[in-house]
Amino acid sequence: MEMASISSSPRTVEEIFKDYSGRRGGIVRALTHDVDEFYGLCDPEKDNLCLYGHPNENWEVTLPAEEVPPELPEPALGINFARDGMNRKDWLSLVAVHSDCWLLSVAFYLGARLNRNERKRLFSLINDLPTVFEVVTERKPVKDKPSADSGSKSRGSTKRSSDGQVKSIPKVAEESYEEDEDEHGDTQCGSCGGNYNGDEFWIGCDICERWYHGKCVKITPAKAESIKQYKCPYCSMKRARP
């Protein structure tokens, strides 16, 4: 069944890119032109909802496919649960980041039989388009970003304030130490998806170890100093839901 779905799917680089472009167009429309309608459909009281983009440039908010495994990779589940726990703009940015991941996974799922050069050509075509995240946030990609080591997040966590100083959260570690920016580069804000920047204040969740811009989760350097254990909006909501 799974192999049949691949064989009947778009096969050439051009066909797969057309499929990708259509799905991307639908998602961009949901997060921009149709954003009020999209926002209204993502009721946190409903079950695990997903945002699907279709090849005909339409979009749909619906439950995940029932079959296991699904015919195509699934979008992020439960995007509606975080809606009311976050700033609207930050939530839309988060949905955009997950949508970018889904679009790539679908494209390379459909391109499972492409050879190396065809995969490179497909990725080049995709890369010529701005990501959904870039469209939604009106940002340009960060060039030459530093590189992060996620393994250094939980012990001796340090947070940088806007003046470049390093802040450590009490009781996260006995000694605070300054981490080089190149240890942090792949770190993205769990709220807006923006890349790590040493000029901004960041805070790490002590439960899930995601990192956030202080401004995205409304935590200032001064407030961080008084927090014994920081719990991000997601982890706070998990505790709140039965």
- 55 vs 8: CA distance, rounded Å: 15
CB 102, CB 133: distance < 8 Å: no
The model's pLDDT over 47-59, given as tens digits with 9 standing for 90+, comes to: 999 999 999 999 9
- Give the pLDDT score at 136: 94
Buried b (16+ CB within 10 A) or exposed e, 40-58: ebbeeeeeebbbbbebeee
Write the DSSP symbol of residue 171: T
pTM: 0.56
Nearest one of 124, 187, 131 to 159, comparing CA atoms = 187
Q: Count CB-CB contacts under 10 A for residue 30.
A: 27
Buried b (16+ CB within 10 A) or exposed e, 171-197: ebeeebeebebebbbebbbbbbbbbbb
* Position 45, amino acid: E
Residues in the chain, how many? 242
Beta partners for residue 62, in sequence order = 50
Helix (H) or strand (E) holding 160: strand 158-160
Nearest one of 37, 35, 108, 41 to 72, comparing CA atoms = 108
Mind listing the pLDDT tens digit of every residue in the chain (242 residues)? 333 344 466 789 999 999 999 999 999 999 999 999 999 999 999 999 999 999 999 999 999 988 888 889 999 999 999 999 999 999 999 999 999 999 999 999 999 999 999 999 999 999 999 999 999 998 754 444 444 444 434 333 444 444 444 444 444 433 444 444 455 556 788 878 777 777 788 888 888 888 888 888 888 888 888 888 888 887 877 655 55
The model's pLDDT over 109-139, given as tens digits with 9 standing for 90+, comes to: 999 999 999 999 999 999 999 999 999 998 7
Domains of the chain: 13-137 (no CATH), 189-241 (3.30.40.10)
